[in-house]
Amino acid sequence: MSEALSAPAQAPSASHKGRPVRRRKASFRHDNLMGYLFISPWLIAFFAFTFIPIIASFLLAFTNYDVLNPSWGWVGLQNFERMFTRDPRYIKALQATFFYAFMAIPLRLIFALAIAMLLNTNRRMVSGYRAAYYAPSIVGGSVAIAVMWREIFGRDGLVNAILGADIAWLGNPNTAIWTLIILAVWQFGSPMLIFLAGLKQIPREFYEAAAIDGANGWQQFWRITLPLLTPIIFFNLVMQLISGFMVFTQAFIITGGAPLDTTLFYALYLYQRAFVSLQMGYASAMAWVLLAIIAIMTALVFRSSSYWVFYGSQEE
């Protein structure tokens, strides 16, 4: 293999500069090989557990494979057709997921930015607060927190105890999804940290100059902080978008998709089809459509970025 690779590389370099160059290139390739060897545990795991399953799921998407039935085969685009024409729950899952994404992501980012601004001061104990506010996003995606959330919003839960009411938060189609959105907003830690880093990058002189010109805090926020922070917002938005469309654990444990499929998130429905109904082919097709949806949404955000993201180095 190395011979096949070296032959074309050698030809042009030999005609120009001669031997020394070739030797350097050879040792460079040798170094590469060593590098690949060093990361081979990762590479092997990547191929075994990520790359091959990705290919397998792509192929399965065009079959009716259901684990138990030995007589499965190709069904062409039937899975995709069924999704959009003959599966009312699929449409509900799309609605629930988009509603969640469009509510939870902006709210979480706004919340994260607000807290980041509060923590971007030199008060005492501020690093302690930072750690404290970051904690929910470490534990927030966990099963334990989801179970706790179920209890908090349960009929005998904390919220009803405080309100002195008997409201079925998790059973009412209007409120159930909001308990999940609140949980998502509460996990504002990682975008908050990134915002905090971004805020520290903004030169103090800008604020000093603005203050001398008589700008109040509000004006400083809109004219200095927000514009200079747009690359960070952009980054956070893309990351949150991707994870937002893949939300699973919370709905799986807290609501199970109920009531009336208002919290039947895409990944949850995919799981149900794959592991409850064992329709692996259909579920694989759903996974690839999810990929397409997230790619399109992300592409839209990227496209729009030239209108609102401001890179300091760019001349407008």
Token pair belonging to 44: 């092997």
From candidates 159, 182, 210, 278, binder to other proteins by CB under 8 A:
278
Give the Cα separation of 66 and 88 in Å (integer): 21
Nearer to other proteins, 91 or 135 (CB): 91
Q: Does the protein bind other proteins through residue 260 (CB under 8 A)?
A: yes
From candidates 103, 199, 224, 258, binder to other proteins by CB under 8 A:
258
Structural contact between residues 175 and 169, judged by C-beta atoms closer than 8 angstroms: yes
**Min. distance of Cβ 57 from other proteins in angstroms?**
3
**Min. distance of Cβ 223 from other proteins in angstroms?**
26
**Min. distance of Cβ 109 from other proteins in angstroms?**
19
Q: Rounded to 5 degrees, what are φ and ψ at 63? A: -125, 175
70-86 burial: b if 16+ Cβ within 10 Å, else e? eeeeebeebbbeebeee
CA distances from 5 to 26, 40, 43, 229 (A): 10, 21, 21, 46
Query: Which among 10-18, 64-72, 107-115, 217-225 is the span making contact with other proteins, rule CB under 8 A?
Result: 64-72
Q: Does the protein bind other proteins through residue 304 (CB under 8 A)?
A: no
Tracing tokens 């082919």 back to the chain, one arrives at 281
Closest CA to 264 of 91, 147, 106: 91
**How many Cα atoms within 13 Å fall on the side-chain side of residue 129?**
14
From candidates 96, 104, 116, 170, binder to other proteins by CB under 8 A:
170
**Min. distance of Cβ 5 from other proteins in angstroms?**
24
How far does Cα 65 stand from its chain's mean position? 29
Span 216-255, contacts to other proteins by CB under 8 A: 238, 242, 246, 255
Q: Does the protein bind other proteins through residue 155 (CB under 8 A)?
A: yes
Nearer to other proteins, 13 or 305 (CB): 305
Q: Does the protein bind other proteins through residue 69 (CB under 8 A)?
A: yes
Q: 3-class SS at 63?
A: strand
Residue 255, exposed/middle/buried by CB under 10 A (0-12, 13-18, 19+)? buried
The residues, ordered by sequence, that sit 6+ positions from 194 with a Cβ below 8 Å of its Cβ are 232, 235, 236
Q: Does the protein bind other proteins through residue 89 (CB under 8 A)?
A: yes
Tracing tokens 């992501």 back to the chain, one arrives at 105
Query: Which among 37-45, 84-92, 116-124, 211-219 is the span making contact with other proteins, rule CB under 8 A?
Result: 84-92
Structural contact between residues 163 and 252, judged by C-beta atoms closer than 8 angstroms: no
Nearer to other proteins, 120 or 249 (CB): 249
**Min. distance of Cβ 123 from other proteins in angstroms?**
37
Q: 3-class SS at 168?
A: coil
Q: Does the protein bind other proteins through residue 158 (CB under 8 A)?
A: no
Q: Which residues pair with 74 in a beta bridge?
A: 63
From candidates 8, 18, 70, 214, binder to other proteins by CB under 8 A:
70
Nearer to other proteins, 225 or 284 (CB): 284
Under the rule (CB under 8 A), what is the footprint of other proteins?
49-50, 52-54, 56-57, 60, 67-70, 86, 88-89, 92, 150, 153-155, 168-173, 238, 242, 246, 255, 258-261, 264, 267, 270-272, 274-278, 280, 283-284, 287, 290-291, 294-295, 298-299, 302-303, 305-306
